[in-house]
């Protein structure tokens, strides 16, 4: 975990994190707890999500462990209602729930397309929609939508993922315009390859197509960056915490690439 923790930056605040069970979502939930927030952990992976909620509690925050499938608007609505019933406010939303699937454009089953669209794109839109009224009423708040470097560039066999993550940036820009007059900031995080279970799984699948092992593929991707390494989840969590903090009050509508210098712009 990053040693540079601002222990009281989010004291008394409420953070909602979707996709909190593992990977980036888990690291983000932990980061907010370490900085004093109460955290609502939303995920349909109930076993690992319970572990994340326990981690939040271990660090001194109150936790809500909510079984939530972001693909279902009713499930998200119930989850957000539970947060408001518990704490009466939402100060931070991190829409982190997402999946990766890939394949050639000639081989994209409609069922698979609908699933990734429901998770990565509609799920984010609904999260933003549900958080917005509370932040507007408070005239404060921060939304961070997790996109991807694949939102700004593409690789072979990534049509579904790139399309949905590009859409997340579009949502972010539009919601930033809608909520700006209420003092609410809305930004997108575009992570590079980060050492999560999802990326390790992708490395095995994509590496096999290139006649490489998963570790060889990860090493290749690391060497593509200026820093010559991949990210740890806590490094993404630190950027999310910055975007939610008072230090970023005049930063909104942006898509921030955190990729070790893979895409230089």
Percent of the chain, pLDDT > 90?
A: 80
Check pLDDT > 90 for residue 131: yes
Cα–Cα distances in angstroms (integers) from residue 215 to residues 150, 200, 212, 222, 230, in the given order: 20, 8, 8, 10, 12
pLDDT reported for residue 73? 98
> What would the mean pLDDT of 36-60 be, rounded to a whole number?
97
Residue 62 burial (10 A CB sphere; 0-12, 13-18, 19+): middle
pLDDT in tens, 161-217: 999 999 999 999 999 999 999 999 999 999 998 988 888 888 888 888 888 898 998
pLDDT in tens, 63-117: 999 999 999 999 999 999 999 999 999 999 999 999 998 888 999 999 999 999 9
pLDDT reported for residue 13? 98
Alpha carbon distance 219, 75 (integer Å): 39
Check pLDDT > 80 for residue 152: yes
Q: Mind telling me the catalytic residues?
A: 161
pLDDT in tens, 224-237: 999 999 999 999 99
Residue spans per domain, the chain: 14-192+232-258, 195-230
Lowest mean pLDDT among 47-56, 145-154, 249-258: 145-154
CATH of 14-192+232-258, one of 3.40.190.10, 3.40.50.800, 3.40.50.720, 1.25.40.10: 3.40.50.720
Instruction: Assign 1 a pLDDT band (cuts: 50, 70, 90).
Output: low
Q: Spell out the residues 6+ positions from residue 257 whose beta carbon is closer than 8 angstroms to its own.
A: 149, 152, 190, 192, 263, 265
């Amino acid at each position: 975990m990053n040693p540079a923790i601002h222990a009281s930056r989010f004291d008394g605040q409420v953070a909602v994190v979707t996709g909190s069970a593992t990977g980036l979502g888990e690291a983000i939930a932990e980061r907010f707890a370490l900085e004093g927030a109460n955290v609502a952990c939303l995920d349909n992976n109930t076993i690992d999500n319970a572990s994340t909620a326990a981690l939040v509690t271990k660090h001194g925050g109150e936790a809500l462990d909510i079984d939530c499938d972001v693909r279902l608007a009713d499930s998200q609505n119930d989850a957000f209602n539970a947060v408001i019933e518990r704490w009466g406010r939402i100060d931070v939303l991190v829409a982190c729930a997402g999946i990766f699937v890939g394949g050639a454009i000639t081989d994209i089953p409609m069922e698979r397309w609908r699933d990734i669209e429901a998770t990565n794109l509609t799920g984010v839109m609904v999260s933003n929609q549900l958080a917005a009224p509370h932040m507007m009423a408070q005239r404060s708040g921060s939304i961070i939508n997790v996109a991807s470097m694949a939102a700004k560039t593409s690789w072979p066999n990534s049509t579904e993922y790139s399309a949905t993550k590009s859409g997340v940036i579009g949502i972010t820009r539009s919601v930033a315009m809608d909520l700006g007059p209420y003092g609410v900031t809305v930004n997108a995080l575009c992570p590079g390859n980060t050492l999560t279970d999802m990326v390790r799984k992708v490395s095995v699948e994509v590496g096999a197509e290139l006649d490489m092992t998963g570790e060889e593929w990860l090493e290749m991707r690391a060497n593509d960056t200026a820093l010559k390494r991949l990210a740890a989840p806590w490094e993404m969590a630190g950027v999310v915490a910055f975007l939610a903090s008072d230090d970023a009050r005049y930063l909104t509508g942006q898509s921030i690439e955190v990729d070790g210098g893979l895409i230089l712009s």
